[in-house]
Amino acid sequence: MKYVGHTTTFQAIERGIARSGIDFLILTRLIPLFPYNIQNYAYGLTAIPFWPYTLISALTTLPGIFIYTLMASELAAHGLTLAFILKLSLAGLALFALVQAARRYARHKRVDLSGEQR
């Protein structure tokens, strides 16, 4: 903890967990504010329990994993086609809509995702 505790990213995650707990975890997984590998290490050092972290992380990363896997399979099977480009565009719109819904939820719950200390 002494090596990462002073970093801006870790401090922002620690403050978010202290203020908003599980809601902050859900939102940072859905809205990629920080790279996932940094989040994984930082959340391991916070007070969030292991099983809620694991379950929420799995559920909130599944939509992206599903879309990326589906699109990669489609590309490998059929190559770059007009149908693939349309599906990829729809998938991008779906992920964009999910992020926008998460941001709205954050505003509704008053979860501060800016990382700024008040």
Secondary element (H or E) of residue 65: helix 50-78
- Give the number of other CB atoms < 10 A from CB of residue 64: 18
Secondary element (H or E) of residue 89: helix 82-109
What pLDDT score was predicted for residue 117?
Answer: 44
Nearest alpha-carbon partner for 115 in 17, 12, 5: 12
Read off the pLDDT band of 27 (50, 70, 90).
Answer: confident
pLDDT at 51 exceeding the cut of 70: yes
Q: Give pTM, 2 decimals.
A: 0.62
Q: Dihedrals φ, ψ of 81, to 5°? A: -120, 170
Q: How many CA atoms lie less than 13 Å away from 48 in the CB half-sphere?
A: 30
